[in-house]
Amino acid sequence: MYKINYNIALIGFGGVNRALVNIISINPEKFYREMGFNICIVAVSDIFLGSVYSPEGIDLDLLNELPVAKGAFASLRNGNAKADNEDIIKNSNADIIVEATVTDSVTGQAAISHCRWALANGKHVSTTNKGPLAFAEKELIDLALKNNVSFEYEGVVMSGTPVLRFADKLMKGSEINKFTGIMNGTANYVLGLVEQGQTFTDAITSAQQQGFAEADPSADVEGKDVMLKVIVLANRLWDANLTQDDVKCEGITSLSEVMIKEAVAEGQHWKLIGEASKKDDGSIIASVSPKKLDLLHPLSGINGVVNAITFTSGMLGDVTISGPGAGRTETAYAILSDIIAIHQHVNV
Ligand SMILES: NC(=O)c1ccc[n+]([C@@H]2O[C@H](COP(=O)([O-])OP(=O)(O)OC[C@H]3O[C@@H](n4cnc5c(N)ncnc54)[C@H](OP(=O)(O)O)[C@@H]3O)[C@@H](O)[C@H]2O)c1
């Protein structure tokens, strides 16, 4: 049956899911005209704000105006000061669960459970959270297949820049055997400022002041964030089943300010590169490390918080896609693109 309305439950109501509500609410008629379907937010659950479930839909203006205050959902009709993730995911009338809670890069939880509950209960999932992909990708994809629902995660590698679908759909069959990427805007921004003469400490402080870096920037500068993205992309491209033990990881903390300035004097740029390649015997080699690129390299001119990935394919050679790798609205767009993919899946 052709479906034109999707009931959605949001798990986590921070920057990304708030931006999604904002995108949907700005002009619902235009949204329907352009997308061909309506979105109805029926539930939201957040560990800090509490939860709300209204099967007929929640007023988006109320969600847009919700203050960032502990238990704030209790002020809404049907609201509660406590999160209610499991019951909402399993028992609400949502067709799609949007998982945008914080990434736990040690265990991937609680997001893995959120995705598991949803898929096992016949609900589609869109997530922007790297955790479930880095730790349970195969299990969740198999669960989605078994239950004939979609598991979508375009936002986890390069936010709204559609790198997964670009490789997976638009370059399908072109024999991609390698990718090389700048996948962390914070590290790239910091390297750029050090090239201009700042110290690492000042450059990281500047990234924090601009809102690019977390209070604890270690995942960005030590390469862990890129490592998780390399795993997600390699597994998607080649069904590689890579885990963190398979990826050598070195961050920009191994560079000195002198090394960075010397490279510029030689017409080169240090970049934090995540890469993986598929060998003739089918094995995958993956790593994250700083690399000195000369000016002719397609990634040498990628500056600031912009991200880019070059795919090397047997038929096309190098193809590079670049764009924003973070941002609330940009990442919310990735969710929207996931919902469009779900719509296409449902209506084939
Ligand atoms: N923002 C970006 O540019 C971007 C880009 C790509 C991917 N992502 C990913 O997208 C996800 C969401 O990002 P964001 O910027 O919206 O993060 P955020 O602003 O920190 O929002 C996450 C929200 O989820 C809540 N939360 C944490 N654990 C929860 C749980 N178990 N159940 C329910 N709610 C929970 C958090 O509450 P507390 O604050 O109390 O923990 C917070 O309100 C993250 O995984 C992030 O890595 C973000």
User: Ligand 1 centroid vs 12 CA: distance in angstroms?
Assistant: 6
Average pLDDT over residues 194-198: 96
Q: Whose CA is nearest to atom 42 of ligand 1?
A: 14
Ligand 1 pocket mutation, candidates 22, 101, 113, criterion most atoms within 8 A of CB: 101
For 136-154, the pLDDT digits (tens) are: 999 999 999 999 999 999 9
- CB-count burial class (<10 Å; 0-12, 13-18, 19+) for 25: middle
Please report whether residue 210 resides in a domain.
Answer: yes
Query: 320 and 341 share a domain?
Result: no
In this predicted structure, what is the pLDDT of residue 28? 86
Please report whether residue 165 resides in a domain.
Answer: no
Ligand 1 atom nearest the C-alpha of 128 is 10
For 216-246, the pLDDT digits (tens) are: 899 999 999 999 999 999 999 999 999 999 9
CA distance to 189, 202, 205, per residue, from 210 (Å): 10, 12, 9
In this predicted structure, what is the pLDDT of residue 105? 83
Query: 228 and 118 share a domain?
Result: no
Percent of the chain past pLDDT 90, that is, above it, reads: 90
User: Ligand 1 centroid vs 180 CA: distance in angstroms?
Assistant: 27
Number of neighbouring beta carbons within 10 Å of residue 22: 15
How confident is residue 1, by pLDDT bands cut at 50, 70 and 90? low
The answer to whether 291 is a known catalytic residue is no
For 271-289, the pLDDT digits (tens) are: 999 999 999 999 999 999 9
Ligand 1 pocket mutation, candidates 102, 228, 331, criterion most atoms within 8 A of CB: 102
Q: Domain containing 235 — which CATH number? A: 3.30.360.10
Min mean pLDDT across 91-95, 198-202, 215-219, 284-288 is at 215-219
For 161-172, the pLDDT digits (tens) are: 999 999 999 999
Q: What is the C-alpha R_g of the chain? A: 21
Model confidence at 29: pLDDT above 90? no
User: Ligand 1 centroid vs 17 CA: distance in angstroms?
Assistant: 8
User: Ligand 1 centroid vs 157 CA: distance in angstroms?
Assistant: 15
Q: Whose CA is nearest to atom 12 of ligand 1?
A: 100
Query: 306 and 332 share a domain?
Result: no
CA distance to 131, 193, 217, 271, 347, per residue, from 275 (Å): 19, 24, 21, 12, 36
Q: Which residues line ligand 1 (CB under 6 A)?
A: 11-16, 45-48, 83, 85, 100-103, 110, 128-129, 155, 159, 326-328, 331
Average pLDDT over residues 320-327: 94
In this predicted structure, what is the pLDDT of residue 348? 76
Model confidence at 2: pLDDT above 80? no
Query: 96 and 221 share a domain?
Result: no
Query: 247 and 201 share a domain?
Result: yes
**Domains of the chain: total:** 2
CA distance to 74, 140, 183, 311, per residue, from 224 (Å): 37, 22, 11, 21
Query: 189 and 108 share a domain?
Result: no
Single pTM value for the model: 0.94
Please report whether residue 149 resides in a domain.
Answer: yes
Average pLDDT over residues 85-113: 96
Percent of the chain past pLDDT 70, that is, above it, reads: 99
In this predicted structure, what is the pLDDT of residue 118? 98
Query: 341 and 295 share a domain?
Result: no
In this predicted structure, what is the pLDDT of residue 346? 87
Model confidence at 303: pLDDT above 80? yes
Contact predicate 22/58, CB 8 Å: no
Q: The domain containing residue 183 runs over which residues?
A: 171-324
Query: 9 and 117 share a domain?
Result: yes
Model confidence at 182: pLDDT above 60? yes
Please report whether residue 127 resides in a domain.
Answer: yes
Q: How far apart are CA 219 and CA 182, in angstroms?
A: 15
* Active-site entry in 224, 229, 271, 278: 229
User: Ligand 1 centroid vs 334 CA: distance in angstroms?
Assistant: 15
Query: 11 and 150 share a domain?
Result: yes
Ligand 1 atom nearest the C-alpha of 14 is 21
* Residue from 251, 275, 271, 252 nearest 263 by CA: 271
Query: 262 and 294 share a domain?
Result: yes
Within 13 Å of residue 34, how many CA atoms lie on the same side as its CB?
Answer: 9
How confident is residue 45, by pLDDT bands cut at 50, 70 and 90? very high
